[in-house]
Every structure is written in C-alpha cells, then in structure tokens.
Amino acid sequence: SVVNAWSDTHSDAQRWMVKPVGKNIYTLTNIGSGMLLKMTSNSADSMFVSQSDDINDPDVKWTIRKAGSGVYTLVSASQPNLSLGLPSSDVFDGSKVYVGKHSTADKQKWIFQKEKPQLATPSAAIADKMFSAWYEQYKIETFKGFWDRAEMMEIVLDAYEVTKDKKYLKNFDAMYDNFLVQHTGNWMDNKFNDDIAWAAIFCVRAYLHTGNKAYLEKSKDQFDKMYARAFTNKYGGGLNWFETKTSKNACIQGPAIVASCYLAEATGDKTYYDKAIALYSWSKIYLFDQQTGKVNDNIDLDRRTKLIKVGTWSSTYNQGTFLGAAVMLHKYTKEANYLQDAERIAKYIREDMYRNKVMDNEDGGNDLPGFKGIFARYARMYTLETKKTDLVDWLQLNAKVAYNNRNSQDLTHTRWATRTPELKPKSAFGASTAVSLIFNTLPLKKD
C-alpha cells in the first residue's frame, strides 16, 4: 500500500521500527502492517513509496544521515542520490510520501522519536475514549432519528454490559428521554416494522439491566402492536418489512426473533419463544441458506412471473441478527441445529464476505454505514454464549486496525481499513460502528 502523510494520531499505522541490516543500512517496518518501507515507481527522478514484505528487495533498504540538530535524511541504499521526502507543494492529510533527488530542503528532513508499544488490542480505556469522542462530537444524546438512534442506544447498552460502568446507563436514560420527546406515545405511525423491532430490543435490554418496568412495558406494547400488523400468511408466514409493501425481509425477521427471545426472558411468557421459533423456521425456508450460512435480504412476488423471487444481497446486520437469533434459540431449546446454524452464519461473514480481512465497506447512504456495529454485538453474544473462538482473532484484527485508522479526534469512520479523514465524518451512525466493535471485542479471549 502507498505511504501517505497524515496528522499524528499516535497509532501503530504511524509507527516504524528501525532495524540495522548492514553497515549504516536499515529497514523500516511499519508496526501496524508489519511491512517494510519500499521505493516504488519507474521514474528515475522521483518515486513514491509503498510497503513490501520482501526483505531481499534492495529498495527496502535505507541509510540514515545526520542533517542538523536532531534531524536526519533517509537515503535509498540502492540509489544514494534519492532521499525520502514530502511534496514540494502544501502537505495535507493523504499527501503521498515520495523519494526524490537529494536536497537540503526541510521536506527531506525527519525526526526519530521513541514511542511506547501499544496493546495488541484496544483496552477498556481506549474504548471509553472512543465512546466519549463519538458521543460528544456528534451530540448523540440529542441525536434525531429512529432506527439509527435505536442502534446507537444499543451501543450504549453494549458499553454497560461489557464494563458494568453505570455512567453508560445514565447516558442511555438521557437518550431514551430524548427519544420519547421526538417519538411520543404510539410508535405505530412509523410504517417500517423493523424500526419498531429495533426499538423494542433497546427497551427490553434496558429493562433487563435496570429493572425499570417502564422500559419493559414500552417494549412489549410496541412489539405486540407491530407483530399484529406485520404478520401475514402470505408466502406462508413471516413479517412484512414495511406497511403497504409486500416484501418480507431479513431485516425485520432477524430483529423480531431477537426481540421475541428477550421479551420471553423478561416476561416469562413462553409464547414469545413460540413466535421466535416460528419466524426462524419460516426464514430457513425462504431467507437463510443453512448449508452456507448466507442470509439473503428479502423475498417478494415477481410481478412478471408471479413467482416468489429472492433478493440475494447479504449484509453484516442481517448476518448479525440471525447469528444472535440462532444463539438465543439454541440457549432456550438446547437443539444442536441452532448451534450449527450459528457456526455457519459466523463462518460465512468471516470467510465468504470478508476473506478473513478487515471490514472496509458498507459506507453508502444513511443506513449502510451503521450495519457492522450490529454484527459486532451479536458476534460477542455468539462467542461468549457458545464458547466458540472462531471469530476472536478476526474481530481483534478488525478492532486493532479500526482503532489505528482513527483521526486525531479519536473518530473512526465505517471503513475500518481506511484512514479516517481529519474532517469529521458526516455519519454519526457510521462512526458508531468502531465504538461498537471495540466494546464488543473487549471480553473476547482465546484460552
């Protein structure tokens, strides 16, 4: 990857280890990537620099020359007339670092500064720092919205579940009060049935942590009303995604199953588990491929053929809620098929969707940027409830890279493998995903 100049965020992506490999010859290894600083390009006069893992490549070797009090130049060992430098024009975040003809200009002078090593994965203190930066800079407490706000309220509950720090419950209470100011009384004026399911989840989770019956009553009341209007026998069952539309989407089935399981736990009413099992069984016919673990987006009637058609797009939040649904139903029923489903869902997102690499997409529009934070929540549930460790290394890699790609305001946008611009990212929902990831990864361990 190309090496760029950036505002200092004290991250491993900006740290280099200098190693002698000969008489006054060194390699520089990036701490974040583990790769070597390397010249790249075919121009004889000016080359950009990238990273390489080939220790035998002559273009990864450098000499260090003193250029004044406390400053040095880095000279290519293979082409001693070329030195590492910054552009001659104004330098900004993202400016490419280059190798050009040696000069005495300040833009070819560098300072070596010793740094303390970072933890292998973000700590609770780092999670709290990232939370505060996001919560305060985006004014999350008074944030307007419905489903995106609901999911950010769940992140606040995640922070409490992981740390047991009651300050997060105070944050949640304030967010809930402001939510009710904007969305008073009956939420059924919102025609998106999945929105109601998301809100029912944060309400019942809050009850389970606080014992405040107002949260439970709101969750039960709104979920029951939503379920009554959303369930139809068209296509053999399942919930409509949106009132007046005919599609039945994973984004309502998954959270509705999760909400049903939580409500069963909170109320002792086993009919909620019956609803959850019925929705899950229906989803396995139409939406969920139990052989691969892939969760398809929706089914609807093809107006031309009059046959059911499947929307095959897959997303992190649908994989996440179905992962949670499988785990919760396995916990209740002890039936092995749910655990097998959970393992396949987890494997599909890690291997098929992301090839074990860092999640670096879902950044378009208003909704997509927040999806990965939902997955992170249920990945924690899966790991802790089942004692499976197949996601741990991958999640920790994502957490470390996301943290290292923060900007100097401690914000990370939703493309975790891409450096976050210094200009505050537009989407508060997108910036919430790294906060969710870091908190939900904290308790994950491999024994």
Q: Does the pLDDT at position 46 exceed 70? A: no
Q: What is the mean pLDDT of residues 274-293?
A: 98
What the chain holds in terms of domains, given with CATH numbers, is 12-108 (2.80.10.50), 124-441 (1.50.10.20)
51 within 8 A of 38, measured Cβ to Cβ:
yes
Mean of all residue pLDDT scores within the chain = 95
CB 233 within 8 A of CB 244: no
For residue 44, pLDDT beyond 60: no
The C-alpha R_g of the chain, in whole angstroms, comes to 25
Q: Compute the average pLDDT of residues 369-375.
A: 99
Q: Say if residue 43's pLDDT is above 60.
A: no
Cα–Cα distance, 258 to 60 (Å, whole number): 52
For residues 414 and 431, the answer to whether their CB atoms sit within 8 Å is: yes
Distance CA 77, CA 163 (A): 50
pLDDT digits (tens, 9 = 90+) for 210-240: 999 999 999 999 999 999 999 999 999 999 9
Say what the pLDDT of residue 45 is.
57
Query: How confident is the model at residue 347, as a pLDDT?
Result: 99
Q: Count CB neighbours of 312 within 10 A.
A: 10
Name which of 40-49, 68-77, 166-175, 333-342 the model is least confident about.
Answer: 40-49
Check residue 185 and give its pLDDT: 82
3-state secondary structure the chain: CCCECCCCCCCHHHCEEEEEEECCEEEEEECCCCCEEEEECCCCCEEEEEEECCCCCHHHCEEEEEEECCEEEEEECCCCCEEEECCCCCCCCCCECEEEECCCCHHHCECCCCCCCCCCCCCHHHHHHHHHHHHHHCCHHHCCCCHHHHHHHHHHHHHHHHHCCCHHHHHHHHHHHHHHHHCCCCHHHCCEHHHHHHHHHHHHHHHHHHCCHHHHHHHHHHHHHHHHHHECCHHHCCECCECCCCCEEHHHHHHHHHHHHHHHHHHCCCHHHHHHHHHHHHHHHHCEECCCCEECCEEEECCCCCCEEEECCCCHHHHHHHHHHHHHHHHHHCCHHHHHHHHHHHHHHHHHHCCCCCCCCCCCCCCHHHHHHHHHHHHHHHHHHHCCCCCHHHHHHHHHHHHHCCCCCCCCCCCCCCCCCCCCCCCHHHHHHHHHHHHHHCCCCCC
375 pLDDT higher than 90? yes
| Interval 259-273: pLDDT, tens | 999 999 999 999 999
Q: How far is CA 279 from the centre of its chain?
A: 27
Has residue 423 got a pLDDT over 80?
yes
Q: pLDDT-based confidence at 14, cuts 50/70/90?
A: confident
Whether 16 shows a pLDDT value over 90: the answer reads yes
The mean pLDDT of 395-413, rounded to a whole number, is 95
Q: State the pLDDT confidence band at 120, using cuts at 50, 70 and 90.
A: low
One-letter identity of residue 162: V
User: Would the pLDDT of 410 be above 90?
Assistant: yes
Low-confidence winner among 85-99, 283-297, 400-414, 417-431 (lowest mean pLDDT): 85-99
At 13, the pLDDT band (50, 70, 90 cuts) reads confident
Residues 6 or more apart whose CB falls under 8 angstroms from that of 362 comprise 315, 316, 368, 369, 371, 372, 414
